[in-house]
Chain A
């Protein structure tokens, strides 16, 4: 199977008064053709920054520090702006978290959907309009022709997110990055949107799904990366991960979800909070909150170790336990 996206040892950050804050630290991940890959983590762990790095949309003054991003074999890091622009919207596209604010309030929906065609292809206005109605219908917008003449504020949240997806899909990109696509939506609408994404991936699009919601991930993804404080801490196929979570952080996340779904009386939480980016602990980023911390953990950052079944984990106690 071909890999649509290959991120290798990506580091990205932004300058602060106390020096450069590295928000994405040595992240490697792949998205194969027709698969949905999940990227999980708490807010602020670097998920969105990773996505923006791929799209080349990191906000000033943030930047990619090092590493490589291959889209279908083409290196994106250091690619001239103009070439990269030609890829955005046609080869790769992105859905943002907030359908309420991610659409231009003073532009009709139809024009926003067909905008990508107009940027990347030379077609007539009628052709562009016809194709935008077509894609809107495909993503399940009823009476698409009429909606094209609406302004975003006249549509419901679910419809707007569909419009966002239509906008991202109109040129049939190879890679779709969805940054928390359902966070702002109702549960019923969420299910519809997720179904839509599944259909898309079966058409061959590789999807990188960013979420903090393990429920969404479990339903949708083929492979999952867990991110904590800028690093990938665990990576496994979805069933493997949910059956055999190895990293204490992943286990903490799963426990808190399970206790929410009626496992017991006490809500399981992970004590403490994500460390400040400019004041990272010397060793494992999770060590201050980790129940299984040992002396080595605070000395240096452990490497990602293969535990079989393509299950990678970045944790010394977990390695030791498995060895027993």
Chain B
């Protein structure tokens, strides 16, 4: 539900130096604009889609399995049979990468989604309620932000052990505070506007104001944060797995593959370089998309 401001329905005139009043954009306008002016974001979206397809279709795309070893073909360099070569257990690297992309994408999306929802809920409540509630939530956020994320993740992973679910939990815990802070300041801005004031005066309940006025206006920000948290999560997971604290073998994750490949960096560099490149590509794609979205969704951006 998007609020339209009351404009006099006269012919709009543009004069140099005039600030054009920001109008909230519909979903289609956003998409069209994204496609129109930010080619890079569109390419990135396509790359992401490609990775998603590869992840979904992994078993169909490859004749090999991700876990079965073939000790006769250990560490073979890239060849027509094994496009990206094989690892120290003779497993096809392409296959492991395809299955690994499932892990990476899930790890990107799930914790980002959780931390976005959690962070937005706490941020809106904190900004709207103010007072003690605000102080408690924000000190909690300060607390989470004070940890170097890697060390916090290490401590949590140490306590809970490796595995996908625990990584989800860890990354959600690491990321919510940042979202909460941004959404809170956004909320503070929104509740100062006239229409929220008007709603308050007419006696609309707090929860309704938060859901109908504040939340819809926070969605662009949330969307951008979500998109930008995905690559951050992927990077943290790959770093954790790189240290042996994340996904446990024989499951495949790009970070883990880089880690196991590291021992063979000089004899078989493709072992770690190819998964590294994949991590970089997906992170880059999400960053581009996030930047593009941020540009397009900003209602106050300069019309030039």
| Contact flag (A, B; Cβ within 8 A) | yes
Q: Which A residues lie at the B interface, using CB under 8 A?
A: 14, 21, 23, 43-44, 48-49, 273-277
The answer to whether A276 touches B17, judged by C-beta atoms less than 8 angstroms apart, is no
The answer to whether A14 touches B13, judged by C-beta atoms less than 8 angstroms apart, is no
The answer to whether B13 touches A277, judged by C-beta atoms less than 8 angstroms apart, is no
In the assembled complex, which residues on chain A have CB atoms less than 8 Å from the CB atom of B17?
A: 43-44, 48
The answer to whether B16 touches A274, judged by C-beta atoms less than 8 angstroms apart, is no
The answer to whether B13 touches A273, judged by C-beta atoms less than 8 angstroms apart, is yes
The residue in chain A whose Cβ has the minimal distance to the Cβ of B18 is: A44
In the assembled complex, which residues on chain A have CB atoms less than 8 Å from the CB atom of B16?
A: 14, 21, 23, 44, 49, 277
From residue 1 to 24 of chain B, which have CB atoms closer than 8 A to chain A? 13-18
In the assembled complex, which residues on chain B have CB atoms less than 8 Å from the CB atom of A23?
A: 16
Residue of B15, B16, B17, B18 most packed against chain A (CB within 10 A): B16
- How close is A207's CB to chain B, nearest CB, in angstroms? 23
Interface residues on B, range: under 10
**Complex formed: what's the CA distance from A197 to B260 in Å?**
77
- How close is B10's CB to chain A, nearest CB, in angstroms? 8
Q: Which B residues lie at the A interface, using CB under 8 A?
A: 13-18
In the assembled complex, which residues on chain A have CB atoms less than 8 Å from the CB atom of B18?
A: 44
In the assembled complex, which residues on chain B have CB atoms less than 8 Å from the CB atom of A274?
A: 13, 15
**Complex formed: what's the CA distance from A14 to B16 in Å?**
10
In the assembled complex, which residues on chain B have CB atoms less than 8 Å from the CB atom of A44?
A: 15-18
In the assembled complex, which residues on chain A have CB atoms less than 8 Å from the CB atom of B13?
A: 273-276
**Complex formed: what's the CA distance from A44 to B16 in Å?**
6
**Complex formed: what's the CA distance from A172 to B295 in Å?**
46
Name the one of A43, A49, A276 contacting B14, with C-beta atoms under 8 angstroms: A276
**Complex formed: what's the CA distance from A14 to B13 in Å?**
18
**Complex formed: what's the CA distance from A48 to B17 in Å?**
10
In the assembled complex, which residues on chain B have CB atoms less than 8 Å from the CB atom of A49?
A: 16
- How close is A62's CB to chain B, nearest CB, in angstroms? 9
**Complex formed: what's the CA distance from A23 to B13 in Å?**
15
The residue in chain A whose Cβ has the minimal distance to the Cβ of B13 is: A273
- How close is A7's CB to chain B, nearest CB, in angstroms? 19
The residue in chain B whose Cβ has the minimal distance to the Cβ of A49 is: B16
- How close is B189's CB to chain A, nearest CB, in angstroms? 20
Closest 4 CB pairs of A and B: A44-B15, A273-B13, A44-B17, A23-B16
The residue in chain A whose Cβ has the minimal distance to the Cβ of B15 is: A44
**Complex formed: what's the CA distance from A277 to B15 in Å?**
7
A-B contact pairs, 17 of them (CB 8 A): A14-B16, A21-B16, A23-B16, A43-B15, A43-B17, A44-B15, A44-B16, A44-B17, A44-B18, A48-B17, A49-B16, A273-B13, A274-B13, A275-B13, A276-B13, A276-B15, A277-B15
The residue in chain A whose Cβ has the minimal distance to the Cβ of B17 is: A44
**Complex formed: what's the CA distance from A284 to B147 in Å?**
68
Known A14-B16, A44-B18, A276-B15; further 10 A-B contacts with Cβ < 8 A: A43-B15, A43-B17, A44-B15, A49-B16, A273-B13, A274-B13, A274-B15, A276-B13, A276-B14, A277-B16
Residue of B13, B15, B17, B18 most packed against chain A (CB within 10 A): B15
- How close is A44's CB to chain B, nearest CB, in angstroms? 4
**Complex formed: what's the CA distance from A36 to B16 in Å?**
27
